[in-house]
Structure 1
């Protein structure tokens, strides 16, 4: 069983790295694309382009229906079983039918939506064009889920790359050709069309002409996840309402902090899907052990990155946003506190419950978190302003994670609190000398101390947490990944020497 756990964990680590690489590169391409569009279109037309995508963004949420996680779990559970192809085909047909219906609705209501909601009737054709992309988004999401469920993360990671690259090339070319907003929206559509075609080619061998499955089983799993997403959207809208009472300056600083903290979100969002697939594979035995390992290894990565961003928040903000965003570093540090909950399982709990099919429990946890945030944010906002909103978000995250841990007792899953504490200690202790030295340097020059922080961390972690078996496992997994294999080998060799020196009498 231990060998199976190692194989499953190896797949999770490998999958997370491939997804992370693909997401980071695609996010970078899309960011460059957004900057170019903003410059080429100008503020007025860029604003109209953004409004043209509003209905599309709303309908995409409803087209999801929580189906991709269901498909990923099914493919992981039935890996090697011929029934998997039939169920995948059934799920794809149902989901694609829904997305086509929503796309038609989007095209049909584009005119009244543009006139009465956006109050810009001249955007009608752009809104229609954007709505056509909905089925292609669905194909991309479903294909990625199939590939992840089958353990083919390297293929899945290419889907967002196809989308971002195609969007960048088409939109910039058309705008430079003088097509303006149409070029930007058509580039958005083209990106998803190209990605959908490419992703279908990647999964065509895992679909069958015959489709079979249970609609009730699919919906009983997916609907609670969809409702959880709707709750998150409602909470986000409520947050926007609270923010509207503050000055533009404060709101700008808040969103700058939220945007920068989302960089870490790219990392965490790459880990969760891999864990869902991995947990689903280990349902027959060892899932409790697997949960502990997932918390341990995800903490090893996320906690020090979070602490480093907090230490150098002032420097990062000055580099990327300039000197005018004086409130952003403080807001950013508060935003990042929620990511530290990874050490008590915040990143692993959702995938674990999803693998067990307990999506109703996920809905309960989401509802509980929202019930904490809504009244608390209103109260704290009146006292502390925007800071109160972020504090309420932190307390909501803590409450949700705490409830999750209590629920997990019924499944005999728990965290290794000693390992988590050691990760926190190593991350904080490594920060002390860096902060001390940083007092003698001006910002943003202090950023040169960032490598020193990570050097101290990787020097300390083998002394207080990692064992020889951990190093061997990580070497075995990471050596298979060409992107980082050489660098990982150097780091692990260094940590092994540290471990050997510390063990000498």
Structure 2
């Protein structure tokens, strides 16, 4: 059983790396696309382009219904079973039908939405064109979920890359040819059409002409996740409303910090998606062992990354946003604190509950967390300003983590707190000399100390946390990934030598 668990964990590590790589690259390409469109369209037309896509985001949210997570879980559970193809076909048909209906609704309400919500009646044709993307966005999401569930994360990660690359090429080309806002939106649509076609070619062997499944079971699993997503969207709008009462300077600094912290959010969401598939494979036994492994290995990446971003927050902000964003480093440091509970299972337990089908518990936890955030953010924002909103976000995050830990006890699984503490120590101790030396350097030149921090970190973890079995496991997994195989081998070889030296010294004493 231990070997099967390590195989599943190896798949999770590889899957997380591929998803992270794909998501980060696609985000970078989309950011470049936004920069180029903003430059070529100009402020006025770029604003119209952005407004024209606003209805799409809302309707895509409504079309989700938790079906992507349902597919990841069931494809992992039924891996190797012919029923998996029938379940996938059933879920795809339901989801695509819903997305087509919502696209038609979007076309029908485009005119009143443009007139009364956007207050720009002339945008109705652009909005109609934009909502045509909804079925294709859905197709891409479903295909990614199927590939992830069957253990093909490397293929899953290519789908957002297809979309972002073709969107960039077509949008920018059409705008340069003078098609303006229409060209930008048509490029957006074309990118998703091409990605959807490519994604269905990737999954065609994993579908069946025959579709079988229960709509009630799909809804009982997916609806709580859908409601959680809707609540998150409402809370985001509420946060925007609270922020509107502050100065433009404070709001700009806040969103600069949010934008930068979203990079770590991409890493975390990639790991979370991969863990859902992994836990679903481990349901027949060894859930607690898998939970401990997932917390340990996800913490090894997330904790030092978070601490390093906090240490060098001022330097990163200066490099990417400039020196005018005086408040952003402080806001960024506070926002990053909400990622630290990963070391005690905040990321893993949610994925475990999804794999067990306990999505109603996730809804309850989300509801309690948001019910605390809403009044607390209003109260603290009146006292501490924007900082108060971030404090409320951290508080609601801690409530979620506490509830998840209580729930894990009822599931008769536990976190290895000793291991978590060692990861925290290994992440914090290297920060002390780095901060001390950093006092003698000016920002943003302090960033040259970032490699020193990670060198100290990778030097410390084999001495206080990792075992020989961990190094062998990581070597086996990472050596199969061409992009990082050579670099990881150098690091792991160095850590093996440190571990041997430490072992020899202990024997001498």
TM-score range, shorter chain: over 0.9
Moved over 2 A (4+): none
Aligned to 2:164: 164
How many angstroms does 1:502 deviate by? Answer: 1.0
CA–CA distance in structure 2, aligned partners of residues 65 and 470 of structure 1? 38
- 1:91 equivalent to 2:91? Answer yes
CA–CA distance in structure 1, aligned partners of residues 497 and 122 of structure 2? 67
SS at match of 2:473: helix
How many angstroms does 1:372 deviate by? Answer: 1.1
Aligned to 2:343: 343
CA–CA distance in structure 1, aligned partners of residues 43 and 341 of structure 2? 39
Aligned to 2:328: 328
CA–CA distance in structure 2, aligned partners of residues 267 and 91 of structure 1? 27
CA–CA distance in structure 2, aligned partners of residues 192 and 8 of structure 1? 32
Aligned to 2:426: 426
Aligned to 1:367: 367
How many angstroms does 1:71 deviate by? Answer: 0.9
Aligned to 1:386: 386
Matches within 5 A, 1:14-413: 14-413=14-413
Aligned to 1:481: 481
SS at match of 2:338: helix
CA–CA distance in structure 2, aligned partners of residues 108 and 149 of structure 1? 36
How many angstroms does 1:234 deviate by? Answer: 1.0
How many angstroms does 1:336 deviate by? Answer: 0.2
CA–CA distance in structure 1, aligned partners of residues 344 and 180 of structure 2? 49
Q: Residue deviations 1:390-417, cap 9 Å, x none?
A: 0000010001110111011111111111
SS at match of 2:315: helix
Aligned to 1:5: 5
Aligned to 2:458: 458
SS at match of 2:284: coil
TM-score w.r.t. length of structure 1: 0.99
CA–CA distance in structure 2, aligned partners of residues 497 and 389 of structure 1? 47
How many angstroms does 1:426 deviate by? Answer: 1.0
SS at match of 1:347: helix
Q: How many pairs are equivalent?
A: 505
Q: Residue deviations 1:426-452, cap 9 Å, x none?
A: 111101111111111111011011000
CA–CA distance in structure 2, aligned partners of residues 123 and 402 of structure 1? 46
SS at match of 1:181: helix
How many angstroms does 1:503 deviate by? Answer: 1.1
Q: Residue deviations 1:248-306, cap 9 Å, x none?
A: 11000000000000010111111011100000000000011100110000000000000
Aligned to 1:414: 414
SS at match of 1:80: coil
How many angstroms does 1:72 deviate by? Answer: 0.9
CA–CA distance in structure 1, aligned partners of residues 297 and 372 of structure 2? 30
How many angstroms does 1:42 deviate by? Answer: 1.0
Q: Residue deviations 1:140-174, cap 9 Å, x none?
A: 00000100000000100000000000100000000
TM-score w.r.t. length of structure 2: 0.99
SS at match of 1:348: helix
Query: RMSD of the alignment, in Å?
Result: 0.6
Aligned to 2:500: 500
SS at match of 2:32: helix
